[in-house]
């Protein structure tokens, strides 16, 4: 019964890269090959891919190729993310201006407080001396 | 690495995350699932390793740009369409010929096929399959039987029947498709 069911079912199980490479390198048993091929029957995508992978001269390097392509994709996506961040700032100049104003207020505030305290400290000993002489 | 960590998340879920959060990371994980398959597809059409590697990167770029323009439903088929069209355009540039482009209609047909088979599964029609198998032509009947019932691999069927690999694949694929059509017809008859 289950065998008949196989004919009606469309395999939706995803292919694993290792499984695919092992198949192309002819490293699977006949039983494993059959299980793998069942997934191929309904997918033009997978069928085309398997056919193409057979054409590679050095199948051992397929993993390396994949890693390299994925690395490039990652760096392109990261660069895109950075560009988007920069553009976001560019698109909102008021955010930048507000931050700058806030920073300026903080710096001015620091100096005002700093000078005020310094002045207070300078005045305090003179006052003490005057109080002593007066006493 | 990232691929393994997110292996339990389905394509659709990753795509939804990308659309809702707008984070390219999700799209990256999704695309990387198909690198090897795309490499194979590009190699099939372009027949050149360097061209195939470059093309996969170009297809990724195209996919990243296109996926933002509209909501993609069935990512795998959509990506295959992008890849195939890219390769056909590249061949056209090489040869100066106009290839037939894959369209959304073809994707829809593939999805429709999936849905039809699900519909068939639901019904108790397995005995109809047995009957339907007898109506296939001899080659298809033989290959479908050897593949699905005797669980032979393509190569074993090649050895047993004397057909070449392409013929075996074709007999199995067409046989399966025809069998489904026969079962559908029989079901319609039964249901009036």
Q: What is the pLDDT of residue A56?
A: 92
pLDDT at A101: 93
**Mean pLDDT of all residues belonging to chain B:** 84
Q: Which of B40, B118, B172 sits opposite A50 (nearest CB)?
A: B40
Can you give the three-state secondary structure of chain B, one letter per residue? CHHHHCCCCCHHHHHHHHHHHCCHHHHHHHHHCCHHHHHHHHHHHHCCHHHHHHHHHHHHHHHHHHCCCCCCCCHHHHHHHHHHHHHHHHHHHHHCCCCCCCCHHHHHHHHHHHHHHHHHHHCCCHHHHHHHHHHCCHHHHHHHHHHHHCCCCHHHHHHHHCCCHHHHHHHHHHHHHHHHHHHHHHHHHHHC
Chain B within 8 Å of A64 (Cβ-Cβ)? no
Reported as a pLDDT band with limits 50, 70 and 90, residue B170 is very high
> Which residue's entry shows tokens 């075996």?
B168
Inter-chain touch A69–B144, beta carbons under 8 Å = no
Question: Do A73 and B121 count as a contact with CB atoms less than 8 A apart?
Answer: no
Record the pTM.
0.71
Pairwise CB contact (< 8 Å): A69 & B176: no
Q: Average pLDDT of B89-100?
A: 74
> Model confidence over A97-135: pLDDT tens digits?
899 999 999 999 999 998 888 888 887 765 555 555 654
- Classify the complex by whether its ipTM is higher than 0.90, answering yes or no: no
pLDDT higher than 80, residue A49: yes
Does B158 contact chain A (CB < 8 Å)? no
Mean pLDDT confidence for B141-146: 92
Instruction: Kindly report the average pLDDT of chain A as a whole number.
Output: 83
Residues of A in contact with B155 (CB under 8 A): 30, 33
Q: How confident is the model at residue B137 (pLDDT cuts 50, 70, 90)?
A: very high
Q: Pick B30 or A42 by higher pLDDT.
A: B30
Q: Do B44 and A44 touch (CB under 8 A)?
A: no
């Amino acid at each position: 019964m289950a065998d008949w069911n196989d004919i009606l079912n469309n395999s939706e199980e995803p292919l694993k890269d290792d499984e695919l490479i092992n198949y192309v390198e002819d490293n699977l048993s006949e039983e494993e090959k059959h299980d793998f091929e069942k997934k191929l029957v309904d997918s033009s995508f997978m069928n085309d891919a398997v056919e193409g992978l057979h054409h590679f001269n050095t199948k051992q390097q397929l993993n390396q190729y994949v890693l390299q392509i994925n690395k490039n994709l990652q760096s392109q996506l990261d660069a895109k993310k950075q560009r988007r961040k920069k553009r976001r700032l560019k698109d909102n100049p008021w955010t930048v201006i507000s931050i700058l104003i806030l920073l300026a207020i903080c710096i001015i505030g620091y100096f005002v407080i700093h000078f005020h305290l310094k002045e207070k400290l300078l005045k305090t000993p003179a006052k003490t001396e005057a109080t002593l002489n007066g006493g | 690495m990232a691929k393994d960590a997110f292996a339990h998340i389905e394509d659709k879920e990753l795509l939804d995350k990308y659309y809702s959060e707008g984070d390219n990371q999700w799209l990256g994980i999704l695309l990387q699932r198909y690198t090897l398959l795309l490499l194979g597809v590009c190699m099939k059409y372009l027949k050149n390793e360097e061209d195939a590697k470059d093309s996969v990167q170009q297809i990724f770029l195209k996919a990243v740009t296109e996926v933002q323009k509209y909501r993609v439903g069935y990512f795998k088929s959509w990506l295959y369409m992008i890849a195939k069209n890219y390769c056909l355009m590249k061949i056209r540039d090489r040869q100066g010929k106009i290839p037939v482009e894959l369209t959304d209609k073809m994707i829809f047909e593939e999805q429709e096929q999936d849905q039809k088979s699900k519909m068939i599964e639901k019904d108790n029609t397995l005995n109809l399959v047995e009957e339907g198998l007898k109506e296939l032509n001899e080659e298809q009947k033989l290959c479908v039987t050897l593949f699905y019932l005797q669980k032979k691999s393509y190569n074993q069927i090649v050895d047993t029947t004397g057909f070449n690999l392409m013929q075996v694949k074709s007999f199995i694929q067409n046989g399966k498709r025809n069998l489904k059509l026969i079962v559908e017809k029989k079901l319609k008859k039964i249901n009036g």
